[in-house]
Structure 1
Amino acid sequence: MVRISVILPVFNAERYIGKAVQSVLDQTFEDFELIIVNDGSTDSTSDVLNDFSDSRIIVINQSNQGPGASRNRALSIVRGDYVMFLDSDDWYCEDALETAFEGITKYDADLTFFKMINYNEGRVYENDWFNLSQFDESFDNRAFHPSETPGSIFDLSVGVCQKIYRTSFLRSVDAHFPEGIFFEDMPFFYYVYLKSERISIIRKVLYFRRKHDGSITHVVDEKFFDTVAAGQVLMRIFIDNGWYDMYKYDLLAYKINGPRYALRDLPLDCKDEMFMLIKKDYESIKMTPLYHDFLDNLGPVKRKFFEDVIAAGDYEEFVYINSAK
């Protein structure tokens, strides 16, 4: 057994993977294993990984299956008491594992948040999404239950790399990522968060999040089609676990907003396909009892979007209808 298992999926990250791996090997905390899942990389990623020689590194090579499948494969073999995630273009502060371990064990938590900071071409900056500003000082120095969460849980960062998790807890709730889609962090986070009994926070930056032209969330392109599928998974999680009625108002708004913003920001040549994915989703909702929940609980802007998508035959018609007051 080891104390912490770090899971690092990688696909074609030859420029950055060396720094990510080295940031783990340079940790002040040494009782870890680093599980790297090389997800069918076709660049020089494998050569970079082969340059490392450390008994704590486990490399799994597989055909390209996506980040969800890669993380699930690593989760199935972890030996650590706790799990942390690292993305291949990011890196840890040198005391990240030590500080995270101390934080989660001190309060016997199922998961613990810490702060992340953005890095972009030498510029380092915080934002509200990653600096734990959603939690006031009453959440410091203790464990809390998700029912105590201030405001909306949908204001919290869903990034899995911003937390450390108790392995036995993840296994007890059969936590796993949806496979075959991007934005797999989101349904995983809400399932794990709401299953937790004890949560804590560490108000210290432990993780550098690199933003660059190839970042998954930086470039709005076809991968944002998956905001529809991720929202469908999320709805099913809330319904199946009996959380739907409690969170209905914010959940429905959250489900609408992801694809709505994606449709707005996608390049023109992607809008038709994105619109049809959203329309198919909404038409399926119309055939269920949930349809009236959407009509009754959405604010005016989101409700109009919802109804206009259903009414329009294609994206061009939607633009015409939606622009009308």
Structure 2
Amino acid sequence: MKISIILPVFNEEEYVKNSIGSVLSQNFDDFELIIVNDGSTDNTLKIIERFEDERIIIINQANQGPGASRNNALKIASGDYVMFLDGDDEFCQDALETAYNEIKSKDTDISIFQIIKYDGEDYSENSWFNLDNFPESFENRVFNPHECGDFLFDISVSACQKIFKGSFLRKINARFPEGIFFEDMPFFFYTFLKAQRVSIIKRHLYKRLKHDGSITEVVDSKFLDTVRAGQILMDIFVKNGWYDMYTFDLLAFKINGPRYALMNIEEKYQEQLFDLIKKDYSLIKTSAYYEDFLKNLGPIKRKFFLDILKAKDYETFVEINK
């Protein structure tokens, strides 16, 4: 088997038919499609079961979340290479063939391609998904991820935007954090910085559907997990000896996620998110990294950090952090 495609789904009855269809209609046919039905309560499973294709493997499980779903599929994936697809998205035509030819011919651990957004009527691009942060000198060649130090935290973290060598993922025991959203972020930085050989493909191979339920479109309770995701990320950098290499950008990145979430999250979750951030920052204050935060954060992020520590509750924080 050349490619294992991992597709976790939870209540995707409106989109999953097109998602699966975008895989089965590919010219490249040497793949297995592992669909993880993560406890859907709508007609998702019925729609999946209508597809009669021997390349489809269905894992039907109680709801465990996206990280656990992907991990359960990784345990049985037999392909030389691994790709990920979300239940409301689609692969573009020739995506598998193009991605396979790139990673095979260049013998990379990871190859990254472009994503295009689709709202049901029109297509749109953005610099993040277009890989515009990569200078032209990175195109059409293999590079080491540490060459990306100047823009490491400006690279799209989406697992769906990459094709991975299966043996590489097994060697480094790559797993998604479980029990949280934003599981892509720690997974990306761990796998990317563990890789030796990486390449980019300046072609749109993946179509991301923009709709009201998209995680990136609604700042709701899922964004409470930005705090835990940041803690996991910090731990990954420390344990793997990358902290000193990327201190300045890492600490800014860790502050920015929850900061953005607190500025934009639905009002009913503001107090809860504030409490999570304050607990996290209180732990940092007693750690060996507190002085690093004070020295490396820019004035806006530093004020946010200190105001969180100073405020007794969210209402007080709003007053002092106008």
TM interval, shorter chain, is: over 0.9
After superposition, the C-alpha distances for 1:48-92 in whole angstroms (9 at most, x for unaligned) are 011100000000000000000000000010010000000000001
Q: Which residue does 2:158 correspond to in 1?
A: 159
Residue 140 of structure 1 and its aligned partner are, at CA, apart by: 1.5
Q: Which residue does 2:82 correspond to in 1?
A: 83
Q: Which residue does 1:21 correspond to in 2?
A: 20
Q: Which residue does 1:107 correspond to in 2?
A: 106
Residue 269 of structure 1 and its aligned partner are, at CA, apart by: 1.5
CA contact (8 A) 2:133 2:151 kept: no
For 2:100, the aligned partner's letter is F
Q: Which residue does 2:214 correspond to in 1?
A: 215
Q: Which residue does 2:272 correspond to in 1?
A: 273
Residue 152 of structure 1 and its aligned partner are, at CA, apart by: 2.2
Residue 150 of structure 1 and its aligned partner are, at CA, apart by: 5.8
After superposition, the C-alpha distances for 1:285-325 in whole angstroms (9 at most, x for unaligned) are 111110111001000000000000000000000011112xx
- Pairing of 1:56-205 with structure 2 (within 5 A): 56-149=55-148, 151-205=150-204
CA contact (8 A) 1:114 1:201 kept: yes
Q: Secondary structure at the match of 1:316?
A: helix
After superposition, the C-alpha distances for 1:3-27 in whole angstroms (9 at most, x for unaligned) are 0000000000000000000110001
The 3 A distance-change label for structure 1 pair 152 and 321 is same
Residue 93 of structure 1 and its aligned partner are, at CA, apart by: 1.2
Q: For residues 183 and 295 of structure 1, what CA distance do their matches in structure 2 show?
A: 26
Q: For residues 267 and 29 of structure 2, what CA distance do their matches in structure 1 show?
A: 49
Residue 142 of structure 1 and its aligned partner are, at CA, apart by: 1.2
Residue 121 of structure 1 and its aligned partner are, at CA, apart by: 2.7
TM-score (norm 2): 0.99
Q: For residues 130 and 216 of structure 1, what CA distance do their matches in structure 2 show?
A: 16
Q: Does 1:233 find its partner at 2:232?
A: yes
CA contact (8 A) 1:10 1:41 kept: yes
For 1:172, the aligned partner's letter is K
For 1:198, the aligned partner's letter is R
Q: Secondary structure at the match of 1:216?
A: coil
- Identical-pair percentage: 61
Residue 151 of structure 1 and its aligned partner are, at CA, apart by: 2.3
Q: Which residue does 1:255 correspond to in 2?
A: 254
After superposition, the C-alpha distances for 1:191-244 in whole angstroms (9 at most, x for unaligned) are 000000000011111110001011112111011000000000000000000000
For 2:58, the aligned partner's letter is V
Q: For residues 267 and 213 of structure 2, what CA distance do their matches in structure 1 show?
A: 20
Q: Which residue does 1:305 correspond to in 2?
A: 304
CA contact (8 A) 2:149 2:246 kept: no
For 2:120, the aligned partner's letter is E
Q: Secondary structure at the match of 1:115?
A: strand
Q: For residues 42 and 107 of structure 2, what CA distance do their matches in structure 1 show?
A: 42
- Pairing of 1:312-323 with structure 2 (within 5 A): 312-323=311-322
Unaligned runs of 5+ in 2: none
Count of residues in correspondence between the two structures? 322
Residue 135 of structure 1 and its aligned partner are, at CA, apart by: 1.3
Q: For residues 47 and 13 of structure 2, what CA distance do their matches in structure 1 show?
A: 7
Q: Which residue does 1:246 correspond to in 2?
A: 245
CA contact (8 A) 1:152 1:250 kept: no
Q: Secondary structure at the match of 2:246?
A: helix
Q: For residues 246 and 151 of structure 1, what CA distance do their matches in structure 2 show?
A: 11
TM-score (norm 1): 0.98
Q: Which residue does 2:288 correspond to in 1?
A: 289
Q: For residues 136 and 295 of structure 2, what CA distance do their matches in structure 1 show?
A: 35
For 1:98, the aligned partner's letter is E
Q: Which stretch shifts more, 135-144 or 15-24?
A: 135-144
Q: Which stretch shifts more, 83-92 or 149-158?
A: 149-158
For 1:135, the aligned partner's letter is F
Q: For residues 17 and 311 of structure 2, what CA distance do their matches in structure 1 show?
A: 49
CA contact (8 A) 1:135 1:150 kept: no
Q: Which residue does 2:30 correspond to in 1?
A: 31
Q: Secondary structure at the match of 2:12?
A: coil
